[in-house]
Amino acid sequence: MPANLLQRITTLHPETGGQMSHRICDVRVVDGLVSEVGDLTPKDDDTVDDLDGYLLLPAAVEPHAHLDKAFLAERIVNKTGDLMGAITAMRENRHLLGVDDIIERAERAARLMAGNGYTAVRSHADTTIEHGLRSVEALTEVRRRVADVIDVEIVALIGWPLMGAAGADQRALAREAMQAGVDLVGGVPHLEGADDRAASEWLLDLASEHGMGVDLHTDETLDPEVLGLVDLAELTLAGFDQPVTASHCVSLGMQPEAEQRRVAELVAEAGISVIALPHTNLFLQGRGHAPMPRGLTAVAALRDAGVTVAAGADNLQDPFNPVGRACPFETAGLMIMAAHALPHDAWSMVSQHSATATGRRTGGLEVGDPAHFVAVRADTVREAIATGPADRRVWRHGREIVL
């Protein structure tokens, strides 16, 4: 069977004590999987690629995006710069966002991600009374269009209010979304106020009915009194048997150390993955606070408890985040600066841990690992994150991505 032989490439290898070493070796890929690693001699049917000077890394997975909002920063302005300012700006300008417009921007963002080193992206799709299923319709089309370069997973981001008589229409729309091509159930329980636990329970029940996992925007606030992550963990432990992801979890970072440890252990017991989102949370959270908090979840406490913690970029040049390059090296760099992660841990959070959190695998150097890789001109992972080299190559299922 024809194989690809990646020669003289620098690779990462784990050492005792949690450290990583860098070694130069060859990697043979057969049928989209790693078949050999070492000092290899080319075979007659090998396609040989000399990658001297490149660092080979597991490809990135974007665990939390909003492709339907990408590149709206010039068109829709967040006048207050905080979370509610962004939500209000979107609500007031829904009339500007038709299906074709969403498709164009979302496809552009997805292809940018693919070229930058991502092989998969999980995107939330606004599913609200004002917006209907336009984002779901658009992202299902984008998923089809970009299937040759990147996997797109769609989460129905179900709006609020969700509970009581006021939420009847929203609940009906949520059920429609389940038949429209989404992969997971999403929502924003912490914006339900006193009904936040009931909203989480309803969303889990909906997911159970359809055999889907959930990915909820959780506790996207600095208010330490809001801790819906505990509700989500308790409800999951009560019998929900599908994958559960909690995104943001900002208020956990505002808890005392002992409470962080307690909640982290509960989250670990429930098997919930947590997504840290430094771009958007650093931008939206903490305005008007003195001293100004970082607005991140309790990354260290969660990791110490054994929780899978991934890192994502969230919003891309829109009212929730006016900047961003759809680049995993940018996200990893922010995790180093804002969460005090070591470089190899930061890359793991945008690659292996993001893959785990989204129920997939990314590249590895064990025989049988999928050949999902990004290669950049750098000697170490720290250098790669620091410089974010423009000269990068991406392989998905062993095939190099060509855009």
- Which pLDDT score is estimated for 20? 75
Residue 297: phi, psi to the nearest 5? Answer: -70, 175
Question: What's the pLDDT at 288?
Answer: 85
Query: Is 346:380 a contact under the CB 8 Å cutoff?
Result: no
CA atoms within 13 A on the CB side of 139: 31
Catalytic residues: 220
Is the model more confident about 289 or about 80?
80
Q: What is the pLDDT of residues 179-219, one digit of tens each?
A: 999 999 999 999 999 999 999 999 999 999 999 999 999 99
Question: What would the CATH number be for the domain defined by 60-357?
Answer: 3.20.20.140
H or E element at residue 165:
none
pLDDT (0 to 100) of residue 278: 98
CA–CA separation, 62 and 68 (whole Å):
15
β-bridge mates for residue 127, sequence order:
158
263: closest CA among 305, 295, 202? 305
Work out the pLDDT band at 1, boundaries 50, 70, 90. low
Return d(Cα 211, Cα 305) in angstroms, integer. Answer: 28
Residues 368 and 14 sit within 8 Å (Cβ to Cβ): no
Average pLDDT, the chain: 96
Residue type, position 251, single letter: S
pLDDT of residue 299: 99
What's the pLDDT score for residue 261? 99
- CA neighbor of 186 nearest in space, from 172, 200, 196: 200
Cα 6 from Cα 59, distance rounded (Å): 15
Kindly indicate the confidence band of residue 18, based on its pLDDT and cuts at 50, 70 and 90: low
Average pLDDT (340-360) is: 98
**Taking each helix axis from N to C terminus, what angle separates 257-270 and 228-237, rounded to the nearest 10 degrees?**
30
| C-alpha–C-alpha distance, residues 57 and 375, integer Å | 6
Tens-place pLDDT, residues 54-96? 999 999 999 999 999 999 999 999 999 999 999 999 999 999 9
Tens of pLDDT, residues 19-43: 778 899 999 999 999 999 999 999 9
**Mean pLDDT value of segment 346-357:** 98
Q: Say whether pLDDT at 290 is over 90.
A: no
Beta-strand pair 54-58/3-14: parallel
Ranges of each domain in the chain:
3-59+363-400, 60-357
Q: Tell me: the pLDDT tens digits for 155-182?
A: 999 999 999 999 999 999 999 999 999 9
How big is the chain, counted in residues? 403
User: Who's near 303: CB < 8 A, 6+ residues apart?
Assistant: 309
| Alpha carbons 24 and 343: distance in angstroms, whole number | 19
Q: Which of these, 336, 261, 337, lies nearest to 303 by C-alpha position?
A: 261
Task: Give, to the nearest 10 degrees, the angle between helix 134-145 and helix 99-116.
Answer: 40
Q: What percent of the chain has pLDDT over 70?
A: 99
Q: Would strands 151-158 and 20-30 be described as parallel, antiparallel, or unpaired?
A: unpaired
Name the CATH code of domain 3-59+363-400 (choices 1.20.1280.50, 2.60.40.10, 2.30.40.10, 2.40.50.100).
Answer: 2.30.40.10
Q: How far apart are CA 385 and CA 241, in angstroms?
A: 37
pLDDT digits (tens, 9 = 90+) for 373-393: 999 999 999 999 999 999 999
pLDDT above 90 for 2: no
- The answer for 168, left when phi > 0, alpha when psi is -120 to 50, beta otherwise, is alpha
- Please compute the mean of the pLDDT values over residues 356-366 and round it to a whole number: 94
Give counts: helices (H), strands (E), the chain: 13, 16
Structure tokens at 90: 């979107």
Cβ–Cβ under 8 Å, residues 319 and 286:
no
Arithmetic mean of pLDDT, 247-266: 99
Say what percent of the chain tops pLDDT 90.
93
Residue 316: band (very low, low, confident or very high) from pLDDT cuts 50, 70, 90: very high
Identical fold for domains 3-59+363-400 and 60-357, yes or no, is no
For residues 143 and 17, which has the higher predicted lDDT (pLDDT)? 143
Predicted model pTM? 0.97
